Structures are given as structure tokens and as C-alpha cells.
Amino acid sequence: MKIYYAPNTRAVRIVWLFKELGLPYELETFQLGDKKMRAPEYLAVHPLGRVPVMEDDDGTRVLESGAIVQYVLAKYAAGRLAPLPSSPDFGPYLQWLHYAEGMLMPPVNIIVVETILLPAERRNQVNVDRAVKLLGRLLEAVDVRLEGRKFLAGEFSGADIMTGHASIVAARLGADISDKPNLRAYIERLQARPALQAAWNA
């Protein structure tokens, strides 16, 4: 299998997943802003010129990180990192698997655009302040969920790869987690995992 990857992007989630499962993969690495990501050859792989993309050995391509996580766990994990549908953890697992992109990443994206991608003269601090405030509220829900828990849905799972990664990125971008002890401890647990450490440095 092949992973199209760029550092400090959602593609970290996919390398993390493969490392946790011990699955072999080939890595094609880009840097954000790389002109090769806008070349016709890569646009044939991802029509928006983004990462991640996972290409299976049979030629199947999956683009979105959440979809890739679900695909790989369903096809190759042999029951690991996802509770069975009969488990009481299955509903929460799906919720927190999708919470990353449905809730956390939209304000994260605003912060990235306004503080990193746009030139200084086009940045809008009002947008940043609103996004940071919203992100704090969204992370509060994660903190509440983690009360008395090590992970979001029973044992460590794909939900932690998705929402855990989004939480780490949010904290790195300045979201205030000082009043969220469960989330702080959770982030520390995740960052201590060798598979995530390897994914950051892929």
C-alpha cells in the first residue's frame, strides 16, 4: 500500500495508523506548497492536490483521512483499533472518529489560514479570535468525555487517531487547554506512543 504524505498535515494520522497496526507501506512525501502537488500527475491521484491519499495494492484510492482510517481498519486490522458493532463502545467510537473533521478541524483550518497561509496584510484577527474561542468549547466536550477514561471509546482506537490528532494540533495552534486536565493528560498519553512519534518524523 502507498501513502501520499506531507509533514504536519492530516497525513500524519495515516502513518500513525499504519505504525500502530504494523502494516507495511510505501511513502511518497511532499512538502506543503510543493509545486508537484499541483502537477497533472498528482492531480490524477487527488483532484484537489492534497494529502493524505492511501492507494491499496488493488488500485483502490481513498482520499479523506477519516475514510482511510475506516477503510484500513475494516479491511486489514483484524478487529484491532475498532470496537465491534455489538460493543457498547461502538456508538461512541463512531462519534469520536468523526468529531475530528466534523467539529474540531473547521476552526483549526481557520486558524491555520489566518496565521500561517495568508500574507500578513490579509490576515483577520477577529476570525482567529472567534475560531480559538469556538475551539475551546469544542475541546471542552473532549475533556468531559475523557473524565475517568484513558481513551475516547474503550481501548485505544481509530477514534483516538482522528480526534486525538486534531486535539494535539489544536493545542499546538494555541487553543487553551490549561483548564482541561483530562485532555492535557490524554494528549501526553498519545504523544508518548512510539507509533505517533514515528509518524511525526516520517
Percentage of the chain modeled with pLDDT above 70: 100
Which H or E run includes 67? helix 65-76
How high is the pLDDT of residue 192? 98
Q: For 155-194, how does the pLDDT look when each residue is reduced to its tens digit (9 = 90+)?
A: 999 999 999 999 999 999 999 999 999 999 999 999 999 9
Give me the amino acid identity at 93: Y
Please, are residues 170 and 106 in contact by the beta-carbon 8 Å criterion? no
Average pLDDT over residues 113-140: 95
Q: Name which CATH class applies to 2-76.
A: alpha beta
CATH 3.40.30.10 maps onto the chain at 2-76
Other C-beta atoms lying within 10 Å of the C-beta of residue 89 = 18
How high is the pLDDT of residue 171? 96
Side-chain-facing half-sphere of 73: CA atoms under 13 Å? 26
Please, are residues 30 and 37 in contact by the beta-carbon 8 Å criterion? yes
Average pLDDT over residues 76-102: 98
Q: What is the pTM of this model?
A: 0.96
How high is the pLDDT of residue 33? 83
61: its cell numbers: 484510492
Other C-beta atoms lying within 10 Å of the C-beta of residue 133 = 13
How high is the pLDDT of residue 32? 85
Which H or E run includes 26? strand 26-29
**Architecture, CATH, for domain 90-193:** Up-down Bundle (1.20)
CATH 1.20.1050.10 maps onto the chain at 90-193
Indicate the pLDDT class of residue 140, thresholds 50, 70 and 90: very high
